[in-house]
Amino acid sequence: MAKIAVLGYGVVGSGVVEVIHKNGRTIAGKTRADLEVKYILTRRDYPGDPFEELIVKDFSVIENDPEITIVAECIGGCGAALEYVRRALKSGKSVVTSNKELIAEHGCELLSLAKERNLNLLFEASVGGGIPILRPLNQCLAANELTEVYGILNGTTNYILTKMIRHGLPFDEVLKDAQQKGYAEADPTADIEGFDACRKICILAALSFGKHVYPRQVKTVGITQITAEDIAFASAAGMRVKLLGRAMLNEEGKLIIYVAPHLMDEENQLANVEDVFNAIIVKGDAIGDVMFYGKGAGKLPTASAVVADVIDASKHAESRKYIHWVDGNDDYVADADAYPMRWFVRAAMTEDEARAKFGKITVIPHQTEGQIGFITEPVSRYGINAASEGCEVLSVISVLD
């Protein structure tokens, strides 16, 4: 019997308590892991809640209870969550978390703390919600030299882009609709500016390539500048627009990492990943491309990933799961803007002007008065910026090849 403390009783925390309660018998049957939630840490009162008697308000109750072997952190952010996770590890408790910000910013430090004390620190739910991705990356693909990991990492922006594509609507209108439906938060900044996807690609890159990358090192472009005109040009070219996080090693072993919207062929596997679904593609030397797909967020998917980690931590109480990465030095991350790729450009100019400025281009057959949309040959972002000088360039979006 593993006794667990759940920190935070919001969407994810209450989901964790619910899944353990509801599926506990199946879990015990399938995995021999017998789980019991002993405490729920929350500042609020929940009178009448079925788990009311488990609520505590002082973390030191948990910290000082030797029966607690696993702490499931579902608070979020890097404030109290960071403090409690540090204290939990220092007091000899394994930690499971869905907190991507915590791992992206402090993963290296916390993994070292866990390693020193032979404890587990697991965070499957921090990327892709309920989609199993970190464990397969770490275990199933262990025999591969991984070369690239990328994908649709944020459900809110994918929902917004899907609606823009389907109905030809402008960004602002779709965002408002998404907020009303609960798919976007009241303050949607972290999603629409790409910060959430940025934290996730940092975690994926660290696991894939063994070195920590901090969100501040990652060039991050969100979807707020994507217009209905961009989408119309993309559709005319047989392409869709998706926000991708992407990380790959270049020939010098440096990391190219960024978050940005991409145009991609509508036959691309990612192009058909719609609404709030996420999909992550991993490239390995032996395995080729492998894709993981599912709902990237939501109470029960995320909670089920947290509980799977709790099960794993309870079964590996003695022999620690080996997840570890080292700190990356400052020059580990290459300049993403120097990476050559094709670009979609929308501009107020004629075809002749476009060819004169951008060289060999493929013009998209779509009529919009005074505007042209085209796709360049592979060139760095600096090259695009130089060519754009003195022109009225309205949009520049990466193309995924």
Give the per-residue contact string, 254-283, with a copy of itself (x = CB under 8 A; - = no). -------------x-x--x-----------
Quickly list H helices, 210-343: 228-236, 299-315
Sequence-ordered list of residues with C-beta below 8 angstroms from that of 367, at least 6 positions apart, any chain: none
Give 32 or 90: the residue with its C-beta nearer to a copy of itself.
Answer: 32
Instruction: Fill in the amino acid letter for 186.
Output: A
CB of 313 to a copy of itself, least distance (A): 12
Q: In the 8-state DSSP scheme, what is residue 142?
A: T
Q: Which residues pair with 371 in a beta bridge?
A: 368
Give 31 or 224: the residue with its C-beta nearer to a copy of itself.
Answer: 31
CB of 41 to a copy of itself, least distance (A): 21
Give 142 or 338: the residue with its C-beta nearer to a copy of itself.
Answer: 142
The answer to whether residue 307 forms part of the interface with a copy of itself (CB under 8 A) is: yes
What secondary structure does DSSP assign to 238-260, as a single string?
TEEEEEEEEEEE-TTSPEEEEEE
Q: In degrees rounded to 5, what are phi and psi of residue 35?
A: -110, 145
Q: Per CB under 8 A, which of residues 285..304 are in contact with a copy of itself?
A: 285-295, 298, 300-301, 303-304
CA distance 121 to 94: 6
Whether the Cβ atoms of residue 278 and residue 301 lie closer than 8 Å to each other = no
CB of 211 to a copy of itself, least distance (A): 12
CB of 87 to a copy of itself, least distance (A): 26
CB of 144 to a copy of itself, least distance (A): 5
CA distance 51 to 47: 9
Active site annotation includes 176: no
Give 39 or 277: the residue with its C-beta nearer to a copy of itself.
Answer: 277
The answer to whether residue 358 forms part of the interface with a copy of itself (CB under 8 A) is: no
Whether the Cβ atoms of residue 126 and residue 200 lie closer than 8 Å to each other = yes
CA distance 88 to 201: 26
Instruction: Fill in the amino acid letter for 257.
Output: I
Q: Per CB under 8 A, which of residues 194..223 are in contact with a copy of itself?
A: 210
CB of 249 to a copy of itself, least distance (A): 12
Q: Which of 308, 347, 354, 375 binds a copy of itself (CB under 8 A)?
A: 308
Q: Which of 139, 225, 368, 385 binds a copy of itself (CB under 8 A)?
A: 139
Q: Which of these, 380, 390, 382, lies nearest to 356 by C-alpha position? A: 390
Give 9 or 339: the residue with its C-beta nearer to a copy of itself.
Answer: 9
Q: Per CB under 8 A, which of residues 72..131 are in contact with a copy of itself?
A: 124, 130-131
* Sole window of 15-23, 90-98, 150-158, 192-200 interacting with a copy of itself (rule: CB under 8 A): 15-23
Q: Which of 316, 342, 355, 366 binds a copy of itself (CB under 8 A)?
A: 316
CA distance 142 to 293: 20
Residue 349 token pair: 């100019």
Cα four-point dihedral sign 205, 211, 214, 220: negative
CA distance 120 to 311: 11
CA-to-CA separations, 48 to 51, 52, 53, 111, in angstroms, rounded: 8, 7, 10, 38
Binding interface with a copy of itself (CB under 8 A): 15, 19-20, 23, 26-27, 29-33, 124, 130-132, 135-136, 139-145, 210, 267, 269, 272, 284-295, 298, 300-301, 303-305, 307-308, 310-312, 315-316, 318-319, 322
Which residues are tagged catalytic? Answer: 200
